[in-house]
Amino acid sequence: MALNRALIVLGPPGAGKGTQSRRIAQLYNVPHLSTGDMLRDAINRGTELGKIAQPIMERGDLVSDELIMAMVEQRLSEPDCSKGFVFDGFPRTLKQAAQLDAILESHGFGKPIVVDFAVPEDKLLKRLTGRWMCSVDGETYNIYEKPPKVAGICDADGGTLIQRADDRPEAVKERLAVYERKTKPLTDYYESKGLLERVDAGKSVEEVNREVRAILNRVDGQHGRV
Ligand code: ADP
Ligand code: AMP
């Protein structure tokens, strides 16, 4: 199966973007481009970008558009991005979205497919505060909704599960507020272009996955790289 375009997964923190993006990227054999994962990797490697991003991320704010765009452009120039990619957590501001349009055009990709995950706030809070992540493959678990078979250990590779610093209640509150202010307007932006596909992401992982795959099958052959 070929994607040959960008899939953009929009939605508030904790909506399940990473969980679904990882599965869809695997299915289509294209890169999963999570700007949050890229920044966490930069922090772990102790790079200049990581040093700048760490305090911003810990308080739940957004890293600057300039730094994010430079990071994304560099990643898209790598050869594994020639057959499409899944964006998770990007774009997050109108400026990033407009710049992404120009980049996709210059790389010869057509219009993106944009799915917007909606989840009621009480579920979001449970998903964020219960989230544990594998330190090896990045797979997420949830102590309430999707626990690992053995507490603290990844089912797939035995890696240790860790909790994100920004899943603390104060940072969660700020991240949800920043989402409302800066990222939610992107739904209108993509809707006005006729690209927005809404997904009820409050359902189970399997049901949400089926819904996203159905959208991809339906729009297959439209937009895309020519
Ligand atoms: P995001 O990338 O949007 O911040 P994640 O994919 O990391 O969200 O998911 C947030 C938390 O919710 C994780 O603990 C994950 O295991 C859990 N989760 C994801 N999708 C679902 C779902 N459909 N039902 C229940 N829990 C889910
Ligand atoms: P995420 O893993 O998507 O929840 O992102 C974690 C944090 O990384 C966010 O709260 C931001 O601080 C930062 N971040 C990730 N992606 C972006 C982006 N596209 N623009 C600005 N900041 C970002």
Tell me, in angstroms, the distance from the centre of ligand 1 to residue 34's CA.
Answer: 14
Among 113, 116, 135, 110, which Cα is nearest to 148's?
A: 135
In ligand 1, the atom with minimum distance to the C-alpha of 130 is: 14
CB of 92 shorter than 6 A to ligand 2: yes
Whether 14 contacts 124, CB under 8 Å = yes
CB of 111 shorter than 6 A to ligand 1: no
Q: Which long-range contacts (CB under 8 A, 24 or more apart) does 201-204 make?
A: 201/11, 201/15, 201/16, 201/20, 201/117, 201/118, 201/119, 202/118, 202/119, 202/120, 202/123
Separation of alpha carbons 17 and 115, rounded Å = 10
Q: Which among 17, 38, 39 is the best mutation to test ligand 2's pocket, defined by most ligand atoms within 8 Å of the CB?
A: 39
Beta-carbon contacts of residue 180 (< 8 Å; ≥ 6 apart): none
CA angle, residues 2, 4, 69, in degrees to nearest 5: 140
129: left (phi over 0), alpha (psi -120 to 50) or beta: alpha
Q: What is the pLDDT along the chain (226 residues), one digit of tens a residue?
A: 789 999 999 999 999 999 999 999 999 999 999 999 999 999 999 999 999 999 999 999 999 999 999 999 999 999 999 999 999 999 999 999 999 999 999 999 989 999 999 999 999 999 999 999 999 988 899 999 889 999 999 999 999 999 999 998 889 999 999 999 999 999 999 999 999 999 999 999 999 999 999 999 998 766 554 3
Q: What is the pTM of this model?
A: 0.95
Residue whose token pair is 């049901």: 207
Enumerate the β-bridge partners of residue 113. 7
Domains and CATH numbers, the chain: 6-30+83-223 (3.40.50.300)
CB of 68 shorter than 6 A to ligand 2: yes
Residue 39 tokens, joined: 């920044």
- Give, using CA atoms, the residue closest to atom 1 of ligand 2: 36
- Ligand minimally distant from the alpha carbon of residue 127: 1
Instruction: Check 22, 92, 111, 127 and give the catalytic one.
Output: 92
